[in-house]
Amino acid sequence: MLVCFSIPEAGIFFKAPFAGEELHTEYASLLTLLEFIEINQKLIKGQNLKIYGNNLDLINQVNMKSICRFEFTELLKKTCEYKERYEFSIGWVPKDRNPAIRSIFD
């Protein structure tokens, strides 16, 4: 599995090996992106943050539309803390229509 994120408009692509199941890896990727945003606030200052992914379980949990499995509650809690600070939205995009996915694996 890979922890990865990209911000194609800024030419930023990140990926690193990760040992975890799919949902754990998705949370790790999202939290890595959010930590990057926190460290590089000048890149997002005044911007409306819209994050997209293709894992509906993660998206529904972050949007409080489904219950989180116990083992992921701390990851969800940390994600929600970031959401309060940066007021981002998170939505679904099909994997094959996500330009960030294509760019990161080119």
Residues 7-29 pLDDT 10s:
888 888 899 999 989 999 999 99
Q: Look at residues 49, 34, 26 and name the one whose alpha carbon lies nearest to residue 82.
A: 34
Tokens describing residue 103: 């760019």
Q: Look at residues 90, 98, 99, 82 and name the one whose alpha carbon lies nearest to residue 41.
A: 82
- The confidence score (pLDDT) of residue 29 equals 95
Task: Give the tens place of pLDDT for each residue, 55-86.
Answer: 999 999 999 999 999 999 999 999 999 999 88
Q: Look at residues 10, 30, 35, 11 and name the one whose alpha carbon lies nearest to residue 20.
A: 30
Helix residue ranges per DSSP H, the chain = 22-39, 41-44, 56-62, 73-86, 99-104
- The confidence score (pLDDT) of residue 62 equals 97
The number of angstroms, rounded, from the C-alpha of 35 to the middle of its chain's C-alpha atoms is 10
Query: pLDDT band at 45, cuts 50/70/90?
Result: confident
